[in-house]
Amino acid sequence: MSTLSVDNAGAVSAPVSSVGDVARLINSGREQSKYARMIVFLALGGVFLDAYDLTTLSYGIDDVVREFQLSPLLTGIVTSSIMVGTIIGNLIGGWLTDKYGRYSVFMADMLFFVVSAIA
């Protein structure tokens, strides 16, 4: 837990423990360091990649259905397989993160994502 004060960002006091505390701390206008901005940028990049991965098929599903002549049942299986893959990936990724660390798993994930996108 952080020990930053939500009322005075420079003072150390009670721990930040609720969503409201975090929102007040973020909105306090406290100057962010270059490192903190980089961390936020990387975190948002991860969110973007997840959103991209989960929504990409929705733009191309008509072409996939036409190309492979999929029935409505198979179309549903193809689109739901993304969510099943996400669940399995989260379970395995959580275990790998506990074992090898967040940075190593994140970098391996980004490498896998780029190679998969190119292929």
pLDDT in tens, 54-105: 788 888 899 999 999 999 999 999 989 988 988 998 899 999 999 999 889 9
Residue-range definition of the domain harbouring residue 111:
41-118
What local confidence, expressed as pLDDT, does residue 45 receive?
82
- Count of domains forming the chain: 2
Q: Are 82 and 56 in contact (CB under 8 A)?
A: no
| 36 domain residue, yes or no | no
- For residues 23 and 54, membership in a common domain is answered with no
Once rounded to an integer, what is the mean pLDDT over residues 8-26?
A: 64
Token pair listed for 65 = 């259905």
- For residues 27 and 45, membership in a common domain is answered with no
Write the secondary structure of 51-112 as one string of H (helix), E (strand) and C (coil). HHHHHHHHHHHHHHHHHHCCCHHHHHHHHHHHHHHHHHHHHHHHHHHHHHCHHHHHHHHHHH
- For residues 63 and 24, membership in a common domain is answered with no
- For residues 59 and 114, membership in a common domain is answered with yes
| 104 domain residue, yes or no | yes
What is the pTM (predicted TM-score) of this model?
0.52
- For residues 46 and 88, membership in a common domain is answered with yes
